[in-house]
């Protein structure tokens, strides 16, 4: 595994339509952003996504995306060239990676990875915090202004804003714990045992 300082990290975030009980969910927006210690933050991309299913009120209340924004939106499958270009060869980052990995199953055998979950990283680094959601972490650690500088005029639950926030959080972890010269595998399976003990207690 290469050293962290030599890696290109690309974060991905999906916003979704929300799923009624017994039905599958569908993405309505995708955002990608990249960061490296050498190159900084770069190569952002965001797009609304076409869906045939209605956007639940509960989901729209969170991200504010409605049918008007999706009227001319491309399908996720049509964006395969963009996703392949940006994710291939990168260490893929997400905050709570389950949703992102699930939606990327639309491309069987895509081979993207390895994956870093900044939710698990934050639980390992700061197990005593009571809220490890992305917004709460950035607020607590004083990182929100740095995210806004990268993605101005956007806010939480915009797919690009959240992608950039994951990378700002990752960069903060790498800097705070002096990890630049560690192998990237050090970030793949963080030790969250202290967080689990706190949760049980």
CA distance 162 to 175: 20
CA distance 168 to 174: 10
The CATH number that applies at residue 170 is: 3.30.420.10
Q: Is the pLDDT of residue 163 over 90?
A: yes
Q: Is the pLDDT of residue 201 over 70?
A: no
Structural domain tally of the chain?
1
Mean pLDDT of 154-175: 97
pLDDT tens string 85-106: 999 999 999 999 999 999 999 9
Q: Is the pLDDT of residue 24 over 80?
A: no
The whole-number pLDDT of residue 145 equals 98
| Domain boundaries, position 169 | 4-200
The whole-number pLDDT of residue 200 equals 82
> Residue 27: beta bridge partners?
16
CA distance 152 to 92: 23
Q: Is the pLDDT of residue 76 over 80?
A: yes
pTM higher than 0.75: yes
pLDDT tens string 25-64: 899 999 999 999 999 999 899 999 999 889 999 999 999 9
């Amino acid at each position: 595994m290469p050293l962290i300082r030599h890696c290109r990290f690309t974060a991905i975030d999906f916003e979704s339509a929300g799923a009624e009980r017994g039905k599958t969910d569908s993405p309505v927006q995708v955002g990608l952003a990249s960061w490296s210690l050498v190159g900084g933050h770069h190569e952002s991309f965001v797009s609304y996504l076409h869906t045939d299913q209605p956007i639940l009120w509960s989901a729209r209340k969170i991200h504010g995306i409605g049918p008007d924004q999706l009227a001319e939106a491309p399908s996720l499958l049509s964006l395969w060239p963009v996703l392949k270009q940006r994710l291939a060869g990168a260490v893929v980052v997400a905050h709570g990676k389950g949703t992102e990995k699930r939606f990327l199953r639309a491309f069987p055998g895509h081979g993207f990875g390895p994956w870093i979950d900044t939710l698990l990283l934050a639980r390992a680094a700061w197990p005593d915090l009571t809220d490890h959601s992305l917004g709460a972490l950035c607020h607590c650690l004083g990182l929100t202004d740095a995210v806004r500088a990268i993605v101005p005029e956007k806010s939480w639950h915009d797919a690009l804003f959240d992608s950039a926030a994951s990378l700002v959080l990752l960069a903060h972890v790498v800097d705070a714990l002096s990890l630049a010269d560690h192998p990237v595998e050090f970030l793949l399976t963080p030790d969250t045992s202290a967080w689990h003990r706190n949760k049980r207690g």
